[in-house]
């Protein structure tokens, strides 16, 4: 045999591949909430000691604090504690705002209940019930949280608050749509119509409400005003009206209410941003170099919100001009009636409008007027209205009489 021929190996144990034991998978740690992270940062600041601060100054060669002797140390101590308390207050306020802005079981419970209250209040045309829904509704929290997150430069807070707001809007629209679609013969009430005709006055109301709302959330001394602010802001009723309009397949109702909700949304966000910036609700001091970033974020978001508001104002013009014209026409009708009928004989005058047919219905109740004289006066009123109105519109005048006893009961027959 050749020397280089390999002999077969005997009794050589081959290494068996090590079989991995089935280990139970490690449980994923639950993601920390944004509020918990803010709370942790606040606690770290609260636990900061003056000695640690002093040693840091010495290490960075800022030894001016000890050159002044005990007086210098005392001044440094006072400045340190003043800055510490101010920073802790900022974080506590920021934590409280974000706690009301992110999703939680309490948020969804209040959202669903306030949605149901507002929806049935709109069905019943009950202002008192709708006001109750405004107080309970939690939708203002995510809007304020978004503005605070912008100033702090926290993408996580911004994403969480926007997600919470979007989820809340979708839930409300789904509930109101399904209820309206399931219940037959729902009529359009005055409370619904009142939220489908936004005007420029609604912009001023929303801005003022956003200013006081943000300030009330940031200032514990006036936190008792928050329920009143919620009534003024009125986010839930227009949003429910949008869902009702969709459930009735009435796009005119849905579009008008959606515009009002968008106005409130943008104005509150812009007003809150301004308030939080003015009260210095941000993590940086004005003397620090990082404060420039806060200012840039404020200016950028202000510009974006202003552009959105101006864009909303374009369709708002189409709602405002007809409203102004309608009020002017009602004033013409009212003056014509007062000019022809004796003032002491007019008990009440109610003018309603049918927007689709551009018809005005005037309902006049007279008192102590001879029945024979009303016919001529009625014709004269209608002729006067036709002459004054620039655009020809249909006007009907219905006259009722009260008895000599001046009771609240109307005459059984309507005067033709």
Answering whether pTM is above 0.75, one says no
- Residue 387, domain member (yes or no): yes
The lowest-confidence range among 28-32, 124-128, 286-290, 348-352 is: 28-32
Residue 225: its H or E element? none
CA–CA separation, 59 vs 54, rounded Å? 9
Write out pLDDT tens, residues 9-24: 445 445 555 454 445 5
Number of domains in the chain: 3
Which pLDDT value is given to residue 63? 52
- Residue 190, domain member (yes or no): yes
Residues 182 and 230 occupy one common structural domain? yes
How large a percentage of the chain has pLDDT more than 90?
Answer: 18
Residues 110 and 241 occupy one common structural domain? yes
Band of pLDDT at residue 54, cut at 50, 70 and 90: low
Average pLDDT over residues 236-258: 92
Residues 157 and 203 occupy one common structural domain? yes
Residues 62 and 119 occupy one common structural domain? no
Q: Say what the alpha-carbon torsion angle 139, 232, 150, 239 is, to the nearest 10 degrees.
A: 40
Alpha helices in 183-250 (DSSP H): 190-193, 200-218, 226-233, 236-247
- Residue 314, domain member (yes or no): no
Residues 332 and 246 occupy one common structural domain? no
Question: How does the average pLDDT of the chain come out, rounded?
Answer: 75
- Residue 233, domain member (yes or no): yes
Residues 224 and 355 occupy one common structural domain? no
CB 2 within 8 A of CB 55: no
Write out pLDDT tens, residues 334-349: 888 877 777 767 777 8
Which pLDDT value is given to residue 294? 82
Average pLDDT over residues 344-360: 74
Residues 38 and 67 occupy one common structural domain? yes
- Residue 137, domain member (yes or no): yes
**pLDDT of 406 over the 50 cut:** no
Which pLDDT value is given to residue 70? 56
Residues 157 and 250 occupy one common structural domain? yes
CA–CA separation, 287 vs 20, rounded Å? 59
Which pLDDT value is given to residue 29? 44
- Residue 292, domain member (yes or no): no
Domain that holds residue 129: 101-282
- Residue 155, domain member (yes or no): yes
Residues 109 and 66 occupy one common structural domain? no
Residues 154 and 184 occupy one common structural domain? yes
**pLDDT of 84 over the 60 cut:** yes
The CATH number of the domain holding residue 370 is 3.30.70.1350
Residues 127 and 178 occupy one common structural domain? yes
Higher-pLDDT residue of 26, 293: 293
Positive or negative, the CA dihedral 123, 127, 133, 138 is positive
Write out pLDDT tens, residues 26-45: 444 444 566 556 556 555 55
The lowest-confidence range among 247-256, 265-274, 352-361 is: 352-361
Residues 362 and 246 occupy one common structural domain? no
Higher-pLDDT residue of 217, 128: 128
Which pLDDT value is given to residue 12? 47
Average pLDDT over residues 390-395: 72
- Residue 21, domain member (yes or no): no
């Amino acid at each position: 045999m050749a020397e280089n021929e390999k002999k077969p190996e005997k009794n050589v144990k081959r290494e068996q591949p090590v079989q991995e034991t089935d280990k139970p998978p490690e449980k994923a740690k639950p993601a920390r909430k944004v509020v918990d992270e803010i709370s942790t940062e606040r606690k770290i600041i609260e636990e900061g000691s003056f000695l640690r601060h002093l040693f840091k100054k010495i290490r960075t060669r800022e030894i001016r604090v000890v050159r002044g002797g005990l007086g210098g140390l005392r001044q440094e101590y006072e400045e340190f504690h003043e800055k510490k308390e101010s920073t802790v207050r900022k974080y506590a306020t920021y934590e409280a705002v974000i706690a009301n802005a992110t999703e939680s079981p309490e948020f969804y419970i209040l959202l669903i209940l306030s949605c149901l209250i507002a929806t049935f209040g709109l069905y019943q045309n009950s202002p008192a019930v709708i006001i109750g829904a405004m107080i309970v509704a939690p939708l203002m929290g995510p809007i304020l949280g978004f503005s605070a997150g912008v100033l702090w430069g926290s993408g996580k807070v911004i994403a969480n608050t926007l997600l919470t707001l979007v989820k809340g809007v979708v839930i409300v629209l789904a509930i109101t749509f399904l209820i309206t679609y399931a219940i037959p013969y729902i009529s359009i009430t005055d409370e619904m119509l009142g939220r489908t005709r936004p005007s420029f006055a609604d912009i001023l109301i929303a801005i003022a409400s956003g200013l006081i709302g943000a300030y009330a959330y940031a200032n514990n001394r006036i936190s008792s005003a928050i329920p009143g602010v919620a009534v003024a802001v009125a986010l839930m009723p227009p949003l429910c009206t949008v869902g009702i309009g969709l459930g009735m397949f009435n796009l005119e109702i849905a579009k008008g209410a959606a515009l009002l909700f968008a106005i409130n949304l943008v104005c509150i966000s812009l007003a809150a941003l301004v308030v939080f910036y003015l009260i210095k609700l941000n993590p940086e001091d004005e003397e620090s170099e990082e404060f420039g970033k806060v200012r840039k974020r404020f200016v950028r978001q202000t510009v974006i919100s202003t552009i959105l508001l101006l864009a909303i104002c374009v369709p708002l013009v189409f709602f405002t001009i007809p409203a102004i014209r309608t009020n002017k026409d009602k004033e013409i009708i009212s003056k014509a009636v007062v000019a022809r009928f004796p003032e002491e004989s007019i008990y009440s005058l109610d003018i309603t409008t049918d927007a689709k047919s551009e018809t005005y219905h005037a309902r006049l109740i007279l008192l102590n007027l001879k029945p024979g004289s009303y016919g001529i006066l009625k014709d004269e009123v209608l002729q006067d209205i036709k002459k004054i109105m620039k655009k020809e519109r249909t006007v009907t005048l219905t006259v009722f009489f009260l008895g000599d006893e001046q009771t609240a009961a109307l005459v059984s027959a309507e005067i033709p």
